Amino acid sequence: MPPTLHDLGIDSLSAADRLNLIGEIWDSLNVQELPIPESHREEIDRRLAAADPSASRPWAKVRARLRGQE
Q: What is the pTM of this model?
A: 0.50
Residue pLDDT tens, the chain, 70 long: 899 999 999 999 999 999 999 999 999 999 889 999 999 999 999 999 999 988 889 999 999 999 998 6
Look at residue 31 in the predicted model and tell me its pLDDT. Answer: 86
Residue 51 main-chain phi, psi, to 5 deg: -65, 145
State pLDDT tens for residues 14-28: 999 999 999 999 999
User: How far is the C-alpha of 69 from the C-alpha of 39, rounded, in Å?
Assistant: 41
Which amino acid appears at position 56 of this protein? S
Buried b (16+ CB within 10 A) or exposed e, 24-61: eeeeeeeeeeeeeeeeeeeeeeeeeeeeeeeeeeeeee
